[in-house]
């Protein structure tokens, strides 16, 4: 493997956003340890500001790089439109997560800066992940992200469920990382290269020579990535971790972390294994179908909202995989569009949960939402928009995302997968709308005492985040054109 003889300054400058976020994270860690540390509000402000600055620098980098992908550090990172899109999406998602973190962290107030620091470091890793062009860089970025997530999931050190989430996530996550790494080593053994483009050249030859290492390595890499995107049957950690982790962190796992891992999976399959798609398409089809069915059926019986959304996120991993399955231009941009829509809907839904819960783990049962439509009409209406979107009913971004994905499947000849997809989407109506029943049809269990909306302040950072998510979900459902054009443009330069 060719190592760069010297690290050029230009390369370092071009990963400015990642460095900036990493540095901001470290600074927050230090600042939190000095004296009394930072208040939750100040730490959140620093994090939000760093993210905004990171986004600004990212745009600057993009304009410097231009349409032609820039390879950095001897080809271990690439700044192309694909990476740019996912980096932007990661920044936006984490920004929304920071907004929703304005409540519900009271019990760890003294360690707030730690929380935001880890979030920033994870973001930095996410952005490197989606730009990685060789498997080792990819693995290191993925691990950095994962390690931060393990701690974040367990940040409520006194809550047993948070501990449980962290332990489960860590043990299973470490296992999956090991599997991924083992797969990488097998691939290296079979082909002698770790770069995705090198693999693209070597895989067809390795397969035709009847190598057993190459397909096994590919399968193990795939299994590791399926774990990260929470696709069935690699999803067993998801419900418990999603329920136990602090709600903003759950939103982070379900959006930024899952989607960046998906971006990696897409790049690995479509670039590194691009020449041998016939071999892996059945695997992806199987995992997609199992995820859609298992996720949606599993959600049917859940009465805990976070657990319900956890199962739904398994199902959505399945829908996203359809984009990779199609292995086409349409499939790719459909999946990217869907990812964006899904991020806003999911973060929005978790934000409503976070905002409505008064204590740390309150408002998790569906029945806690009884009468919300009366007490807090805007909050309820936003939740309705997210649920409609997650089901895939217009006029929401979720609808278009699903239509595009199913279109890609039909176009590529995977109609039966599309049939499973549409039927499970229809099925998902049942459990998403069980929440709606509580929002609008059921009167509040206990009479609202005096001040009606006392629990939800009129305008808070979290409610701004929810409003943004709702507006974006609707905007993508009415005028999806601009985002499609943006994605298609970013893909033009990918190959």
Partner 1 sequence: MFDWVHGVPILSLICFLPLAGALVVMFALRDPATIRRFAFGVALIDFLLSLPLWFTFDAQGPLFQFKEGLDWIPSIGVRYEMGIDGIALLLVLLTTLLGTLAFLSSWSAIREREKEYYTFLLLLQTGMLGVFCALDFFLFYVFWEVMLVPMYFLIGIWGGPRRLYASIKFFLYTLVGSVLMLLGILALYFWNGRGLFGWTGAGNPLSFSIEQFHRIGPSIPADLQFWIFLAFFVGFAIKVPMFPFHTWLPDAHVEAPTAGSVILAGVLLKMGTYGFVRFSLPILPEATRRLVPWMIGLSVIAILYGALCAMAQRDMKKLVAYSSVSHLGFVTLGIFALNGPGLSGGVLQMINHGLSTGALFLLVGVLYERRHTRQIADFGGLSAVMPRYATIFLIITLASIGVPTLNGFVGEFTILIGAFSRSWLWAIAATLGIVLGAAYMLWMFQRVFFGPVSHEENRKLPDLSGRELVYLLPIVALCFWIGLYPKPFFRILEKPVAFLVENAERAAPVANPDAVLGR
481 lies in the site for partner 1, by CB under 8 A: yes
Smallest distance, Å, CB 485 to partner 1? 6
**Toward partner 1, which CB reaches closer, 225 or 409?**
409
* Per-residue binding letters, 354-373, with partner 1 (x by CB under 8 A): -------------------x
Report the residue from 294, 366, 480, 490 that binds partner 1 according to the rule CB under 8 A: 480
Give, in order, the Cα–Cα distances in Å from 191 to each of 171, 199, 273, 417, 436.
30, 7, 12, 32, 53
Torsion angle, alpha carbons of 201, 194, 317, 94, to 10: -130
Smallest distance, Å, CB 196 to partner 1? 28
Report the residue from 30, 300, 430, 495 that binds partner 1 according to the rule CB under 8 A: 430
**Toward partner 1, which CB reaches closer, 53 or 410?**
410
Locate the DSSP E strands across 35-111: 70-72, 77-79
3-state SS class at 77: strand
> How many whole angstroms separate alpha carbon 392 and alpha carbon 401?
8
Place of tokens 């590791």: 224
Report the residue from 205, 303, 441, 495 that binds partner 1 according to the rule CB under 8 A: 441
Q: Are 165 and 240 in contact (CB under 8 A)?
A: yes
Smallest distance, Å, CB 482 to partner 1? 10
313: nearest Cα among 299, 302, 301? 299
> How many whole angstroms separate alpha carbon 235 and alpha carbon 241?
10
Q: Are 462 and 103 in contact (CB under 8 A)?
A: yes
475 lies in the site for partner 1, by CB under 8 A: no
422 lies in the site for partner 1, by CB under 8 A: yes
**Toward partner 1, which CB reaches closer, 44 or 322?**
322
Smallest distance, Å, CB 466 to partner 1? 17
**Toward partner 1, which CB reaches closer, 19 or 419?**
419
206 lies in the site for partner 1, by CB under 8 A: no
3-state SS class at 38: coil
* Per-residue binding letters, 383-412, with partner 1 (x by CB under 8 A): -----x----xxx---x---xx-xx--xx-
Q: Which ranges of 66-100 would DSSP assign to H, the alpha helix?
A: 81-100
445 lies in the site for partner 1, by CB under 8 A: no
**Toward partner 1, which CB reaches closer, 216 or 491?**
491
426 lies in the site for partner 1, by CB under 8 A: yes
300 lies in the site for partner 1, by CB under 8 A: no
Smallest distance, Å, CB 493 to partner 1? 17
> How many whole angstroms separate alpha carbon 354 and alpha carbon 364?
9
Smallest distance, Å, CB 411 to partner 1? 5
Report the residue from 15, 299, 418, 462 that binds partner 1 according to the rule CB under 8 A: 418
Q: Are 217 and 193 in contact (CB under 8 A)?
A: no
474 lies in the site for partner 1, by CB under 8 A: no
433 lies in the site for partner 1, by CB under 8 A: yes
Q: What is the 3-state secondary structure (H, E, C) of 184-245?
A: HHHHHHHHCCCEHHHHHHHHHHHHHCCCCHHHHHHHHHHHHHHHHHCCCCCCCCHHHHHHHC
Number of residues interacting with partner 1: please give it, by CB under 8 A.
31
* 75 phi-psi bin (left φ>0, alpha ψ -120 to 50, beta other): left
Smallest distance, Å, CB 330 to partner 1? 9
**Toward partner 1, which CB reaches closer, 128 or 393?**
393
Smallest distance, Å, CB 486 to partner 1? 10
CB atoms under 10 Å from CB of 278, counted, come to 9
491 lies in the site for partner 1, by CB under 8 A: no
**Toward partner 1, which CB reaches closer, 29 or 427?**
427
Q: Directed axis angle between helix 377-391 and helix 397-411, to 10°?
A: 0
Report the residue from 153, 246, 440, 456 that binds partner 1 according to the rule CB under 8 A: 440
199 lies in the site for partner 1, by CB under 8 A: no
**Toward partner 1, which CB reaches closer, 99 or 308?**
308
> What's the count of helices (H) and strands (E) in the chain, helices before strands?
21, 2
Torsion angle, alpha carbons of 60, 63, 68, 74, to 10: -20
Smallest distance, Å, CB 384 to partner 1? 8
> How many whole angstroms separate alpha carbon 197 and alpha carbon 267?
10
Place of tokens 């990819």: 138
Q: Which two tokens stand for residue 463?
A: 């409610």
Binding interface with partner 1 (CB under 8 A):
373, 388, 393-395, 399, 403-404, 406-407, 410-411, 413, 415, 418-419, 422-423, 425-426, 429-430, 433, 437, 440-441, 480-481, 484-485, 488
């Amino acid at each position: 493997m060719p190592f760069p003889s010297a690290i050029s300054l230009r390369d370092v400058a071009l990963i400015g956003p990642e460095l900036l976020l990493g540095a901001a994270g470290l600074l927050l860690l230090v600042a939190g340890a000095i004296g009394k540390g930072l208040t939750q509000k100040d730490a959140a402000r620093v994090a939000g500001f760093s993210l905004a600055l990171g986004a600004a620098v990212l745009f600057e980098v993009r304009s410097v790089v231009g349409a032609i992908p820039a390879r950095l550090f001897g080809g271990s990172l690439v700044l192309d439109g694909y990476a740019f899109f996912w980096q932007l999406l990661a920044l936006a998602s984490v920004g929304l997560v920071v907004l929703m973190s304005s409540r519900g962290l009271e019990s760890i107030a003294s360690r707030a800066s730690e929380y935001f620091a880890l979030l920033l470091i994870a973001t930095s890793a996410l952005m490197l992940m989606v730009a990685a062009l060789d498997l080792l860089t990819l693995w290191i970025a993925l691990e950095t992200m994962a390690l931060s997530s393990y701690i974040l999931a367990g940040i409520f050190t006194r809550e047993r469920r948070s501990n449980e989430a962290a332990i489960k996530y860590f043990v299973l996550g470490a296992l999956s990382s090991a599997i991924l790494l083992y797969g990488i080593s097998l691939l290296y053994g079979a082909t002698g290269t770790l770069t995705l483009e090198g693999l693209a050249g070597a895989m067809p030859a390795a397969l035709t020579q009847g190598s057993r290492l190459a397909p096994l390595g590919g399968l193990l890499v795939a299994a590791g990535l399926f774990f990260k995107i929470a696709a069935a049957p690699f999803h067993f950690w998801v419900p418990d971790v999603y329920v136990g982790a602090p709600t903003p962190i759950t939103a982070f796992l379900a959006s930024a972390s899952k989607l960046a891992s998906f971006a990696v999976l897409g790049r690995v399959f479509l670039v590194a294994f691009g020449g041998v798609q016939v071999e892996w398409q059945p695997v992806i089809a199987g995992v997609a179908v199992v995820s859609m069915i298992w996720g949606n059926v599993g959600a049917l019986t859940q009465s805990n909202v976070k657990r319900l959304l956890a199962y739904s996120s398994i199902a959505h991993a399945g829908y996203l995989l359809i984009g990779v399955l199609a292995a086409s231009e349409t499939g790719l941009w459909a999946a990217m569009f869907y990812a964006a829509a899904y991020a806003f809907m999911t973060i929005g839904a978790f934000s409503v949960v976070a905002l409505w819960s008064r204590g740390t783990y309150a408002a998790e049962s569906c029945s806690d939402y009884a009468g919300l439509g009366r007490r807090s009409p805007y909050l309820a209406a936003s939740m309705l928009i997210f649920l409609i979107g997650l089901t895939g009913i217009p006029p929401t971004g979720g609808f278009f995302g699903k239509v595009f994905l199913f279109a890609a499947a039909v176009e590529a000849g995977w109609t039966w997968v599309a049939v499973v997809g549409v039927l499970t989407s229809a099925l998902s109506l049942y459990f998403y709308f069980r929440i709606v029943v509580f929002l609008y049809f059921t009167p509040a269990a206990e009479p609202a005492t005096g001040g009606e909306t006392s629990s939800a302040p009129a305008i808070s950072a979290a409610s701004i985040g929810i409003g943004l998510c709702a507006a974006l979900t609707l905007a993508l459902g009415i005028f999806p054109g601009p985002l499609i054009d943006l994605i298609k443009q970013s893909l033009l330069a990918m190959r």
